[in-house]
Amino acid sequence: MKTANTSQIENGELRMENSSTNSGSIRTNSGFVCKNNSQFSILNSQLKIALCILLIAVQTTFSQTTEQRFEYTIRTANIDSAFQKIIEMAESKNGYFTNFSERFISLRFPVEALPEFQSMLSGLAEIQDRNFSDIDRSTELERLNSQIESRKKLLETYMGLVKNAPFAELQSVEREMVTLNSQIERLQGQKQAIEKRAALAFISIRAATTQLPTPRLINHASPFTWINSTNLNTLREDF
3-state SS track over 182-210: HHHHHHHHHHHHHHHHHHEEEEEEEEEEC
Dihedral sign, Cα of residue 89, residue 95, residue 101, residue 106: negative
Do residues 166 and 109 make contact, with C-beta atoms less than 8 angstroms apart? Answer: no
Dihedral sign, Cα of residue 68, residue 192, residue 92, residue 101: negative
Distant-in-sequence, close-in-space partners of 55: CB < 8 Å, separation ≥ 6: 32, 34
Distant-in-sequence, close-in-space partners of 206: CB < 8 Å, separation ≥ 6: 71, 72, 73, 74, 103, 104
Domain 64-138+196-209 belongs in CATH node 3.40.50: no
Do residues 79 and 129 make contact, with C-beta atoms less than 8 angstroms apart? Answer: no
pTM above 0.75, yes or no: no
Do residues 105 and 82 make contact, with C-beta atoms less than 8 angstroms apart? Answer: no
Dist. CA 62–CA 199, nearest whole Å: 9
Cα three-residue angle 72-74-79, rounded to 5 degrees:
120
Q: With H, G, I as helix, E, B as strand and everything else as coil, classify residue 118.
A: helix
Do residues 204 and 104 make contact, with C-beta atoms less than 8 angstroms apart? Answer: yes
Do residues 92 and 117 make contact, with C-beta atoms less than 8 angstroms apart? Answer: no
pLDDT attached to residue 82: 94
Query: In tens digits, what is the pLDDT along the chain, a chain of 239 residues?
Result: 433 333 343 333 344 444 333 334 444 444 444 444 444 444 454 554 444 444 444 444 445 789 999 999 999 999 999 999 999 999 999 999 999 999 999 999 999 999 999 999 999 999 999 999 999 999 999 999 999 999 999 999 888 887 777 877 788 888 899 999 999 999 999 999 999 999 999 999 999 988 655 555 555 555 656 556 665 555 555 54
